[in-house]
Amino acid sequence: MLKFQVHSPGKVILHGEHAVVYNRPALAAVVGLGTNLQFRQEAGSQVASFQLEALNCTLEIQLADFNAFLEKFRSKYPVDSRAKLMEEVRGEVSKQLERAAGSTTKPHTQRAFISIYYLLAGAVLSSPKDPKLTLQTGFQVQVDTELNVGAGLGSSASFGAALAAAFLILSGHFDQESYLQEENQALISSWAYESERVNHGTPSGLDNTVCTYGGMLRYVKGQGFQSLSIQKPLNILLVDSRVSRSTADIVAKVRHLAEGFPQLIEAIWQACEELVTAAVPLYESFGNAQDDSAKFEKLERLFQINNDLLKAIGVSHPKLEQIFTIAFKRGFFSKLTGAGAGGYAIVLLPENYECNEVYWKLKEELESAGFGVHVTTAGGVGLRVSSLDD
């Protein structure tokens, strides 16, 4: 029986937030926090069960119903069509949830179920093993996450990439040994993007790409990505402002500002692009022990400049300002990450931060102020599949 686990990291945007929407480059990196998925086939079972810890719910798919859905879809659409599949899955999931729980299902739960059903159906329908593949053995999937949902850390892309990898393995696209081959990583990322479409409508493709491939990426909307050749991950402190917000609303407000002051905001986007250009060689050479302290100081300054540019377009928040003040008072540089107006801030940490008494005072002061604090890295490995020992 098939049994394995998947770890799919979250992400932070280091530079280029909001500017990326206007076709300017962004730098993103995976963080050391992520989604953990455990997959176990169950002999004799005819149910696919999904335990989602973050949403505190369990979802079930009866294999007989699922196989009937596949047969019906194949008869209607003999040629693969992801758009038609998503449309049909939305209808099917809506019917199933109505039967199971009436109309009380929360939006997050509904979107999670659509993602699961859509990715599973897509993986099986496109199986290279058998064009008429059906599922004969039930399985159990447990998913938990270290990422806060909706906080700008790529939680939905991390979730989608983990599911995509599991279902692609299940349906024979590749196995635990070959998933890191370039074409297989591209397949995981493309299906994780499909999951992002369920959650965000028209995603940029940045989150699913960085969660799958890992490291640091320079990304331009519509032009794909370039991996940076970094020496080692950066040490960072992720600070949760505990302020929730809507990314779509913030992006809309920035667009309104850009329409009101087009030349001024265009100058800010140009500055954001120049900042990314200046940052890339610093990230790529940092960690080779040659003048690292000077490079680190330059990165700190870029953090500060980037944060001031983001403040200029109105995406800060009093709670974020409090984080910046606490960090700056202790001699640390920080910036918001993602959409802003809440969510997370990143504090840049030096090499031997644990030996620095001031770091511990910073951490204590942030926690005393009520913020969530996570010590982690930016730029580590991407999605990984490993064996599962019970």
Residue 63 has pLDDT above 90, yes or no: yes
CB atoms within 10 A of CB 156: 27
pLDDT category of residue 310 using cuts at 50, 70 and 90: very high
Average pLDDT of span 41-49: 93
Residue 377 has pLDDT above 70, yes or no: yes
> What average pLDDT does the structure give for the chain?
91
Residue 322 has pLDDT above 90, yes or no: yes
pLDDT category of residue 245 using cuts at 50, 70 and 90: confident
Residue 150 has pLDDT above 70, yes or no: no
Average pLDDT of span 78-92: 85
Residue 192 has pLDDT above 90, yes or no: yes
The string of pLDDT tens digits covering residues 6-36 is: 999 999 999 999 998 899 999 999 998 999 9
Average pLDDT of span 210-239: 91
In this structure, what token pair is assigned to residue 165?
Answer: 């990898």
Residue 385 has pLDDT above 60, yes or no: yes
Residue 71 has pLDDT above 60, yes or no: yes
Residue 383 has pLDDT above 70, yes or no: yes
CATH of domain 3-228+381-387: 3.30.230.10
User: Could you give the CA distance from residue 304 to residue 283 in angstroms, rounded to a whole number?
Assistant: 16
**Residue 154: per-residue pLDDT:** 85
The string of pLDDT tens digits covering residues 154-189 is: 888 999 999 999 999 999 999 999 999 999 999 999
Average pLDDT of span 377-381: 93
Residue 103 has pLDDT above 60, yes or no: no
Q: Domain segments of the chain: what residues?
A: 3-228+381-387, 234-377
Virtual torsion, Cα 92, 93, 95, 96, nearest 10 deg: 120
The string of pLDDT tens digits covering residues 254-286 is: 999 999 999 999 999 999 999 999 999 999 988
**Residue 101: per-residue pLDDT:** 57
Residue 152 has pLDDT above 80, yes or no: no
**Residue 104: per-residue pLDDT:** 58
pLDDT category of residue 317 using cuts at 50, 70 and 90: very high
The superfamily (CATH) of domain 234-377 is GHMP kinase, C-terminal domain (3.30.70.890)
Average pLDDT of span 249-258: 92
pLDDT category of residue 116 using cuts at 50, 70 and 90: very high
User: Of all residues in the chain, what percent carry a pLDDT higher than 90?
Assistant: 68
pLDDT category of residue 69 using cuts at 50, 70 and 90: very high
